[in-house]
Structure 1
């Protein structure tokens, strides 16, 4: 058996033991500070990599071990599994208790800081601004521009926040594949700029962004039953994607015929017939004509209280 593999395995087990001691110590404290919560979250992310490392090393050991000693190695694996899953479960339970509190603090603290900067002396005048919700981003290109602009105005350009606070809010705002993009970036003041730039480098891809917004326009929900809510959603979704395409410096001035065709194809038969009647009196219908028609149609249904 390779002594090097044994040493590697021992180092991994030692790291798990260190993590276990940290978790147990924080568990005994009952109440954790914000720094403790952030540290526990980061340590948990790192210890998850230990499990992969252990399995890789253990597989190599088991591949070269004598059959007579294989049962002993299976015990090694079982002992590590038991220790790993037990302590990570405890860590996750501890974090769950603070997750909601942590998110709420992020939202209110960021909103308050942003409000103070944006409103100047409004707080001294007794004006209470509404709380601005922190954006969430899970890696969808069609939501990137909205997330980026909101996060930049609330956090990135907020001079009332320190870099480490900005990094904390950034981590709290990311989910799914987006969170994985900055997973390996160190949680430090200097690390924030690296993390934000890494995220921008990944998603500030104009070609992909335009592609995804156009794809979303073609994939707008089809209305099977005419209701106010569904009609308004169709108009709102279309407008949102077009605004994003324009932000990406695409000229959509001559897109009206195509957009009218796509949008009309999403309408239920009754609304489509009414649109054909309405547009028959217009020599060259524009997209704005269609939007106005649909908004009026939605208002009509709303006024007559047709359920969505």
Structure 2
């Protein structure tokens, strides 16, 4: 095997080792001491994803005889699965951005007197749970769409986290096999 290919395979192994360090971080996660590292680790994970994909492309181009095709395919599948699992776990450790229902829980009101601005404190709106019962579907759907689905401030991964946390029983079982990804939110 050519030296360049061996170097790239070693580099790819180092990227896989970085994933292992993320897993250890998640297993030993303590929000009191490691909360500040989550965003940095997400950024590093994204950089590893990009670097891994570039390496895989380079390996494919240099493997003119097709000797590494199975290895490249398996490595990609393994990396992709671990990447999404780690990413979802790290995202779960972040404080969720305020949903439209929780932005400030206030409505500003101009009382007209010299442009004075007062605020009325509103109660927090809780996301309802849905267990698959047909009778509760319309109420759940309407609330979920209004608070989460239509929000431009949430990514599809965050929306999927909210959906998974709101579903219980039979409804939860229907999507439990889906990994938390942007694409799978629309499937769910």
TM-score category of the 2 structures, normalised to the smaller one: 0.3 to 0.5
Structure of larger gyration radius: 1
Structure scoring higher RCO (CA < 8 A, sep ≥ 6) equals 2
More strand by share: 2
More helix by share: 1
- TM-score for the superposition, normalised by structure 2: 0.45
- TM-score for the superposition, normalised by structure 1: 0.29
